[in-house]
Amino acid sequence: MSLLPKLWKIAILLCVPAMVTGCWSSVELNDRAFVNVVIVDQTDSGVELTLGIPLTNRLIPGFTGGTGEGGGQEPIAYVTRTGATLEEALQKIQGDIPRDVTFGQTHSIILGSRLAKQGIAPILEFVERNPLLRLNTNLFMVEVPVKSKVARMPSSFERFLASVLNGYIRNDQILSTTVKDMMYSEASGGDGLIPMLSFKTVDPSAKAGSPGGVGTAGAAILRKGKMVTNVLSPEETSSARLVLGQLKRYIYSAPSPTDGRNVGFYTSSLRTEIRPFRTRQGLGVTISSYSDAGIIASDSDIDLRKQQNIELLEKEINRIANKSLMEMIAKTRKSGADVFNFGHYLSVQYPKEWKTIQQDWRAYYKDRLEVRVDSVISLRRLGSSTDSFHNKLKFAEKEGDERTWNLSP
């Protein structure tokens, strides 16, 4: 038997241990500054770049400079420099930091609205050409001034702002828009949505004037890669997430069709379909959403043992869902921004008709496109009781059953 196959096997076995050592770079970890959040804004002086860098000498409680007892120092540093371009600002930061700046741990980029109004193309270009920045890096937007708000924000639930933002995305609490999403959008016109962050006081005991915590604040509308004046409210953003297939669960209340009192619902198993259609008047799209709903609270006297009352509730919550969707779509149409890429659906289904309207698509979308919505919400779970607590209390008072409600010993 030839020795050549055996030698090949031995060579492969010798190479395997070298591949699993975990050494991916010749630069030591202690010589790197790992950026976990990037903040970019436009100022009168140029592009303002801020990098959030965890300080490893402050991460371990109990050590010198740590965040444990007796420490009191923040475990992250925000380094800001301004340059004519993003690259120039980055070089200034690198020149002032003794470690090598690396973006291998970066998951979030926060944009200022002033920069977004001028266009986010330079940011996409920077990420696309940087091998360490991932295309699935999440994008967020903040009203100016970005640096002063973000750098002073205390995090009550997580040690780092990056952990808060990652939690929003991981737990489906906010609209998710990545660099890849906006790159696809740029290829089809540059329209899209970017989630917005707010800063507000989350600790009731905080002193007046103290910095607030981060929260969600709707979504910015981009048209041709630039932010427009209109923005979506948090409620409208939930409707947009439904159209995009990102909404997994939603809690809301609706008036009872019998007495107008509120009934609380939660929806789950949400699914959305977008179907283009053609009529004699032109092209259009139908947005169909399907979900299951359950009741979590009720102040109404409605009797849920009757099927007709359940059907009335379903009709009401479907009416509210359709109204919310239409209002949200109307705001995007007013901005002339095809944020849901309806044009792609039409171009695939009706390529011949699409060629005739492609050049003036935004005007067609704004004024002529017919949009239909059809929400199908099925009330599956009524809770453990068909009567509200309010009804039970009235019944007990009417019967005079003091033993039921007497809590005194």
> What's the 3-state SS for 156-179?
CCCCCHHHHHHHHHHCCCCCCCEH
Q: What is the number of alpha carbons within 13 Å of residue 9 lying toward its C-beta?
A: 5
The residues near 253 (Cβ < 8 Å, ≥ 6 apart) are 262, 263, 264, 265, 297
Q: Render pLDDT for 293-332 as a digit per residue (tens, 0 to 9).
A: 988 888 888 888 888 988 999 999 999 999 999 999 999 9
CB proximity list for 151: less than 8 A, separation 6 or greater: 50, 78, 80
As a whole number of angstroms, the distance between CA 182 and CA 175 comes to 13
223-259 tens-digit pLDDT = 999 999 899 999 999 999 999 999 988 888 889 888 8
Question: Model confidence over 43-66: pLDDT tens digits?
Answer: 999 999 999 988 876 666 554 444
Q: Would the pLDDT of 18 be above 60?
A: yes
**Coil, strand or helix: which one is 356?**
helix
Provide the token pair at 129.
Answer: 């050409």
Amino acid at 145: P
Residue carrying structure tokens 């409600």? 405
Position with higher pLDDT, 213 vs 64: 213
Q: Quickly state the pLDDT bin for 3 (edges 50, 70, 90).
A: low
pLDDT of residue 186: 87
Rounded to whole angstroms, the Cα distance separating 195 from 218 reads 6
Count of positions (residues) in the chain: 409
Q: What is the pTM of this model?
A: 0.81
52, amino acid identity: G
Instruction: Determine the pLDDT at residue 151.
Output: 57
The stretch 167-174 carries a mean pLDDT of 87
- Chain-centroid distance of CA 219 in Å reads 8
